[in-house]
A and B are shown apart, each in its own frame.
Chain A
Amino acid sequence: MSAVEVRGTTSGVRPGPRRRRWTLPRIGAELGMLVVAAIFLFPFYVFLSVALKTPAEVARSPLAFPTDPALSNFAEAWERGDLGTAMVNSVVVASLSVLMLVAAGSLAAYVLARRGSRLSYGLYLLFLLGLMIPLQLGMVPLYQLMRDLNLLQTYTSLIIFEVGHQLPLAVFLYAGFLRALPKEYEEAARVDGAGPLSAFVRIVFPLLRPVTGTVIILSAINIWNDFLTPLLYVGGSPQQTLPVAIFAFRGEFASQWQIIFAGMGIAIVPILLVYFLLQKYVIKGFASGVKG
């Protein structure tokens, strides 16, 4: 293992690009990974090719590449599925939820991380419990509650749910970060006469920027992709979000897979766009998020 390894260790530079010869084992490794990747990416090929096929082509061969890309599938899915409305709904719900989540979560974590009392530790554990409890246990009572409050089929019901549901993750991430953050800055501000809230807003919150990025990315993806609760709360209403709208496609377009896939393609464009633009931060966010 030899040449590769020895050169790796003697060069001494770690991540950055290293100049290495294209040895036979190395070419083998590259090719091997590319084959693995090709198998892994096969479903994406299917996704794209079906979304671009005419019904006749879909029926003819499931594997062949579309000869005459039918972009009209996308237009049809967009119009008949009213995806524009669903996309606006998803954006509204996700952005308002994330905004409130960041505010409530960072403040809560600030208390829990800075107060060394037994009560604050207990409350911290109570929040963490939310990472484990299956939401199914409270699903029916919460549904009834939302119905009694006349909140079903409104943005409000979904936003309240998403904020509450994502809070444990946000609190966990913020508290972990805050514990490692020196107290001196805010102490200085407090000595200068700032109240706890203004010390938080002016001094602490700006220092939380990296973890705020992680919280935004993780929770935005979770909220954007959420299905079960949006289906229950806003399914079939003009407020329905993208995953719910796509779910309705299956019934509406039965076996017109090209329309279903085109609709699915439209629904994932925003996430993929964000992902490819920010992929470094998304992956880092996931990694540091789960590293705690």
Chain B
Amino acid sequence: MTVTQTRSAVTGGPGTEQQRRRRRPPNVPYLLLVPALVFYAFVVLVPTLSGAGYAFTDWAGRRETPGFVGLDNFTELFAAPAARSALRNTLIIAVSTTVVQTLIGLALALALHSTLASRNVLRTMFFAPALLPPVIIGFLWQYILTPAGPLNDALSSIGLGGLTQNWLGDSSVALASVIGVIIWQNAGLTMVIYLAGLQGVPPELHEAASIDGAGRWQRLRNVTLPLLAPATTIALSLTLIGSLKLFDQVYVMTNGGPGYATETLSVVMYKEAFVSGRYGYSTAIALVLTMIVFAFALLQLRGLRRYEVQQ
């Protein structure tokens, strides 16, 4: 593609161009890409690249010239308690929400793909939390999980008083509580993805399998699940990437506490940047987060490809 071609294509061009085009598929000029590219470069590409550069400096709030410090930020990150817990928690949250949410979403989809009379209402209900602002979900659950709050009250009133906890204030259960909230909010999204996938499962296959004597469980394992592999790929990627970047709900519900019990990389990164003004260090944390996201994405891509090939 040359510049002259682009210009002539936009302005209508000389007659020879018109004639040539008749024999070729439409030659869409790259010029039409420019508005999107400008926004994308300004908001994502340029800041991300310069951010990756700042990760190796001691850039701080007011200092005009950031100095190169090599890997210092990273050695600090792996030694600092806040960042270490954040690293650990981020991985725990990502893996557990991905596994549990996928299983729950799949179960809900299978249940609501059937002919239950209430299925349409229930689909709408289960999906609703996924639409709400995470900030609001955070406040709602912060209240529900307070020691004298509705959850403990409900548990006591149905005779499960022994299960009451200081859900967000006790460092041994706080992380699990956060994970539970995330799953509650997003299980409906996984369900919708699986429901879409289930629509692509031809009923004839089920009939054939049941004529061959396959029971319900066998049909699920050997017919439905393999055909849901693409839906699984999407559900897993979305959940994984989303939960690795988790910020809003944690920031609102616990702000990383008690202690460092629910700290995530995004939250530590935010605090280091906008509370402590340590820009260099905070972008180093973000760079580590980015590496983790890419590593998981690659891992998942390879694993799933093998799984899909096997089918």
- A contact residues vs B (CB 8 Å cutoff): 1, 5, 8-9, 14, 17-18, 20, 29-30, 33-34, 37, 40-44, 46-47, 50, 61-63, 100, 103-105, 107-108, 110-112, 114-115, 117, 119-120, 123, 126-127, 130-142, 145, 160-161, 163-165, 167-168, 171, 183, 186-187, 190-191, 193, 195-197, 199-200, 221, 224-225, 227-228, 232, 242-243, 246-247, 250, 257, 260-261, 264, 267-268, 271-272, 275-276, 279, 282-283, 286-288, 290-292
Contacts and interface: CB of A to CB of B under 8 A. Distances in A.
Nearest to A161: B43
Given A133-B44, A167-B39, A196-B9, A140 B51 contact: yes
A246 B251 CA distance: 14
Nearest to B189: A286
Contacts of A29: 111, 114, 116
Contact of B216 (A1, A275, A282): A1
B21 interface: yes
B25 to A, nearest CB: 6
B159 interface: no
Contact of B36 (A44, A171, A227): A171
Contacts of B52: 137
A260 B43 contact: no
B4 interface: no
Contacts of B265: 136
A195 B184 contact: no
A3 to B, nearest CB: 13
B26 to A, nearest CB: 5
Given A115-B30, A132-B293, 6 more contacts: A108-B36, A123-B33, A164-B42, A191-B21, A268-B132, A290-B193
B44 A228 contact: no
Interface string B28-50: 11101101110110111111111
A268 B133 contact: yes
Interface in B254-301: 265-266, 269-270, 273-274, 279, 282-283, 285-287, 289-290, 293-294, 297
Nearest to B285: A136
A167 B47 contact: no
B44 A138 contact: yes
B285 to A, nearest CB: 8
Contacts of A291: 193, 196-197, 230-231, 234
A138 B48 contact: yes
A290 B238 contact: yes
23 contacts: A1-B216, A18-B115, A42-B154, A43-B141, A46-B140, A100-B39, A104-B35, A104-B39, A107-B36, A108-B35, A114-B25, A127-B36, A134-B286, A136-B289, A139-B286, A142-B47, A227-B133, A232-B274, A261-B140, A261-B143, A271-B133, A286-B192, A288-B196
B10 interface: yes
Residue among A100, A123, A131, A135 facing the most chain B CB atoms (10 A cut-off): A135
B136 A191 contact: no
Contacts of A46: 140, 143-144, 150
A44 B125 CA distance: 10
B221 interface: no
A133 B290 contact: yes
B309 interface: no
A196 B273 CA distance: 46
Interface residues of B, number: 107
B293 A134 contact: yes
A128 to B, nearest CB: 11
A81 B44 CA distance: 33
A139 B10 contact: no
B291 to A, nearest CB: 10
Contacts of B203: 9, 14
Given A110-B32, A246-B135, A131 B10 contact: no
Residue among B26, B127, B193 facing the most chain A CB atoms (10 A cut-off): B26
Contacts of A136: 245, 247, 265-266, 269-270, 285-286, 289
Contact of B51 (A138, A190, A272): A138
A37 B123 CA distance: 10
A141 B266 contact: no
A107 B39 CA distance: 13
B157 interface: yes
Given A132-B293, A268-B133, A63 B153 contact: yes
Contacts of A288: 196
A282 B131 contact: yes
A263 to B, nearest CB: 9
A126 B294 CA distance: 14
A260 B37 CA distance: 41
Contacts of B192: 283, 286-287
A221 B192 CA distance: 16
A134 B30 CA distance: 28
Contacts of B241: 131-132
A131 B126 CA distance: 25
Contacts of A227: 133-135, 247-248
Contacts of B54: 140-141
Contacts of A145: 42, 47
Nearest to B129: A43
Contacts of A195: 9-12
A283 B127 contact: yes
